[in-house]
A and B are shown apart, each in its own frame.
Chain A
Amino acid sequence: MNTNPLLLQFIPEARDLLDQAGRSLLALEREPGGPALNELFRAVHTLKGTSGLFDILPLTRVVHAAEDLLDAVQAGRLALAAETADVLLDALDQVGAWINGLDEAGELPGTAETAADSWVVRLRAPLSVRDGQEQSRERPAGEAARAAVPDWVAALPHAEQHACAAAADCPLFAIAYMPDANCFFRGEDPLALIRQVPGLRLSRIEPRSAWPDLETIDPFICALRLYAIAAADEAELVHLFRYVPDQVRIIALPAEWPNPAQPGTADPDSLKLVLEGQRRLLRASGPADLLPGRLEAAAQALQGTIHAIERDDLADALAAASDAARTTGAPDALLAFIDRLSADPPAEARTGVAEKGGDHVPVAAAAGATTAGAATLRVEQSKIDALMNLIGELVVAKNALAWLARQAESGTLGPRELAREIKDRQSLVNRIAEDMQGAVMAVRMLPVEHVFQRFPRLVRDISRRLGKQVELVIEGGETEADKNVIEALADPLIHIVRNSLDHGLEPPELRAEAGKPASGTIRLQAAQDNDNVVIRVIDDGRGIDPAAIRRKAVANGLIDAAQAESLPDEEAVKLVFAPGFSTAETVSDLSGRGVGMDVVRSAVEKAGGRVNLTSRKGQGTTVELILPLTMVVTRIMTVAFGERLFGVPMSMVVETVRMPRAARHQFRDRETFVLRDSVVPLVRLAHLLDLPPEPVADDGEEAILVVNVNGERLGLVVGAFRDGMEVIVKPMDGILAGLRGFAGTTLLGDGRVLLILDLRELVG
């Protein structure tokens, strides 16, 4: 009996899956091609995946073989013959028996290993063509082939080969690791893996093939191969690479590696490099006063070189050359010496690393390059200075409080003076807090240019792909908005511009027919409008056909035919923002990322903004995004309703009026009132929130908050008006997240939670 809780869970699940697989297999025989095949595959597949969690490899291998067989059937590469079904059923029985054994003994019987071998052979027999492949893949990576030295090792400079072999107390292994191109998506970290190699003597990283152009490079693909030489225990290496055995070759290096180098022969490649370096140094142009220094440097380097290659016999010649160079002030003598050295290289000149395909990158350097930057904000110096000044003022104000506390303690100030003093300090701190808020806001302000700058390239690439001529005009990029707003803007804007390119602008021929210039224009405009930043995307394309929109909306069940009929054109085109609406008949790979304009709308609304769309058929479309300048602080107006308080964003409030009840009119089923000669519909907060009707004020007047919702004026009947205030609105969280009608919450000074109404949701 075993006590592993996970295994206890696995056993009944495995039995269920085996049952299901057996039933499906029988159903499949009765009705080939039915849904049973999918169920069968899924059951076996799940069993394989789950069994891999436990140390029951024979069972996993059998189920894996069964899965491969079914995979071939599912893909149509193999017909499920009756004999094959027999083998499958028998194999499932065997697995069932093993599961029973697991339940009783907690392990597979000792015979399972060999039995699994024969089951795998039987299950794979119908797939004989693929068999060879599979077998080679299944060979454990651990069996490091006792083969010759791999090419990449042989190509290493001799000095490095010797450095690796020096004082090795363990056998040496050459590791070649070709990470799968998609390895990053599986959380594999080839670099980290290579660095963890025990007894690491050397590592190399090189590109698998020549690097593509920067523009076409895919940073998510691993295009490297990694090499390492390690003096380690083979089992440790196999363990380290246990998740990527198919991508790694571990080869034991022969004991006699590397070939002992001839005395007096340094690595010819490094010699060549050193000499070439001196040549460049000596030939380099530059101010004449630097030349003596360079001559000295080269002379010293050459001295070291001849010593390293054990050609001290050349010392005199070098000294002569150096002296000649010093006295003439010209490098010619040294250059001649270098030529002599290169023409007379040490024996055993061989080709080396330099001729190999890829560039070697030391591991450490590559690691440095991968360090990702944290989110940073570039801020003008003057904005930081302003903040510093305010902090200074705050420190002074803080000290004044300590003084006040002492006064209160000693009782030198009467309560009245004390209160006055406190009020004074409070107003000072208040002023500083307000200024600081403004200063921090300023820090967070970025020009819209930040988002706009990516569009020229985007528009160019897409228009070329679509075969359209487009001119992009950017206006007002210097308009500033809060960083959060700017970030919220990016995605919707890309989507809108793609839409314009893809669906809005016509191909040149069609434009010519319509009497328009062949090249279309997309304007990207930004401007500040009071507390909002307004972004417009204007194209001069074909516009949106309201009739087509109506048809589509009716077809998609968004509205019924009668509603469609009564909808004015300018309203009809706004249906593109309705969830689930997409005007393009076929989804192109450009704008069709599975998202429509409804996503644009919801993204913008989430940022506290709104979207507007106007379109004239044949003349173009304008999409307008209206976003708050900042998302951090909101001005709200509080209104009371009986005991309850609610907040309404000040941006929606037009004015407050008090009206006698008699001034309202019943207009069919809607209440209205007349405000300066215009009729304004009335909505009751009690009705919207399903609260008991508000008590009528004694004077018979009602408090009406005139608000602007989606461009329409509306009177909201509330209990009473209260203060306006600036608050930080927190979005609805947790179980409240799904609540409609509220924009968020904020904490009041007395600790109460104030609900901020979302009138667009409540009224709309």
Chain B
Amino acid sequence: MKPVLLVDDSATMLTSMAGVLTHAGVAVETAANAEQALAKLASSPPLRLMITDYHMPGMNGVELIKAVRKLPAYRFLPILVLTTVSEDSKRTEARAAGATGWLVKPVPSDKILAVLQQVAPA
């Protein structure tokens, strides 16, 4: 089964989301920053979905999305960006960069699964 790649500099956030997904039987890969994520993309099997935080040290989420969209294999990969309620402009920016949509933090577990089914059905 294709894994979901989670990218967040907060290990807590990663553990939390990975826990929800793993519990639901979804394979998960994690990366602590954009650079790690890109390395994962270069070596990993096809992904089901990528969820990335916006604010990260080094490349931010939108820069990551732009870089990912340049990889031919990932042009159509669903990508969600994690934002907070107040970050309308970030969402627009992320969408322009090629994000499929966004999730508002903190993401309740039923919602993360619902969104997964919605944007990247198994």
Contacts and interface: CB of A to CB of B under 8 A. Distances in A.
Physical interaction between A and B = yes
Interface in A50-68: 50, 52-53, 67-68
Interface string B82-104: 10101000010000001011111
A120 interface: no
Nearest to A733: B45
Contacts of A41: 55
Contact of A9 (B11, B55, B75, B115): B11
A692 B45 CA distance: 31
Contacts of A67: 84, 86
B82 A185 contact: no
Interface in B11-43: 11-13, 15-16, 19, 42-43
A595 interface: yes
B12 A9 contact: yes
Contact of B75 (A13, A188, A599): A599
B106 A49 contact: yes
How many interface residues does chain B have, given as a range?
35 or more
Contact of B69 (A42, A184, A189, A594): A594
Contacts, number: 92
Contacts of B55: 41-42, 45-46
B84 A42 contact: no
A46 B15 contact: no
Contact of A71 (B13, B15, B86, B105): B86
Contacts of A243: 108, 111
Interface string B35-66: 00000001101000000010111000000001
B18 to A, nearest CB: 11
B84 A45 contact: yes
Interface string A81-95: 000000000000000
A411 interface: no
A53 B111 contact: no
Contacts of B12: 6, 9-10, 13, 50, 53
| Residue among A46, A49, A602 with the highest chain B CB neighbour number at 10 A | A49
A687 B104 CA distance: 55
Contacts of A10: 12
A733 B75 CA distance: 18
B1 interface: no
B72 A602 contact: yes
A373 to B, nearest CB: 14
A700 interface: no
A734 interface: yes
B102 A186 contact: yes
Interface in A722-756: 733-735, 737-738
B84 A186 contact: no
A594 B70 contact: yes
Contacts of A39: 57
Contact of B86 (A9, A50, A68): A68
Nearest to B105: A49
Contacts of B72: 595, 598-599, 602-603, 606
B55 to A, nearest CB: 4
B91 to A, nearest CB: 7
A189 B19 CA distance: 23
A449 to B, nearest CB: 24
B85 to A, nearest CB: 8
B117 to A, nearest CB: 9
Contact of A46 (B10, B91, B104, B114): B10
B16 A53 contact: yes
A734 B16 contact: no
B89 to A, nearest CB: 9
Interface in A1-53: 5-6, 9-10, 13, 39, 41-42, 45-46, 48-50, 52-53
B111 A594 contact: no
Given A13-B11, A46-B55, A187-B118, A595 B105 contact: no
Interface in A154-183: 182
A602 B57 CA distance: 32
A42 B56 contact: yes
A5 B12 CA distance: 10
B33 to A, nearest CB: 12
Given A594-B66, A599-B75, A50 B13 contact: yes
B19 A6 contact: yes
Given A49-B106, A599-B72, A42 B10 contact: no
A189 B114 CA distance: 9
B120 to A, nearest CB: 11
A733 B101 CA distance: 28
A598 B19 CA distance: 39
Contacts of A53: 12-13, 16, 106
A49 B13 contact: yes
Given A46-B10, A48-B84, A6 B15 contact: yes
Nearest to A134: B86
B10 A13 contact: yes
A738 B15 CA distance: 29
Nearest to B66: A594
A243 B115 CA distance: 14
Nearest to A606: B72
B111 A182 contact: no
A52 B106 contact: yes
A647 B115 CA distance: 43
Contact of B10 (A5, A50, A182, A595): A50
B118 to A, nearest CB: 6
Contact of A42 (B45, B57, B115): B57
B67 to A, nearest CB: 10
Contacts of B66: 594
Contacts of B70: 594-595
A36 to B, nearest CB: 13
Contacts of A71: 86
Given A13-B10, A53-B13, 16 more contacts: A42-B56, A42-B57, A49-B84, A52-B105, A68-B86, A182-B91, A185-B101, A186-B104, A187-B115, A187-B119, A189-B114, A243-B108, A594-B69, A602-B72, A603-B72, A606-B72
Interface of A: 5-6, 9-10, 13, 39, 41-42, 45-46, 48-50, 52-53, 67-68, 71, 182, 184-189, 243, 594-595, 598-599, 602-603, 606, 733-735, 737-738
21 contacts: A6-B12, A6-B15, A13-B11, A42-B9, A42-B55, A45-B55, A46-B53, A53-B12, A53-B106, A68-B86, A71-B86, A182-B91, A184-B101, A186-B101, A186-B102, A187-B111, A187-B119, A243-B108, A594-B66, A599-B75, A602-B72
Q: In the A-B complex, list the 6 residue pairs whose CB atoms are closest, starting with the nearest.
A: A187-B115, A185-B101, A52-B106, A49-B105, A42-B55, A602-B72
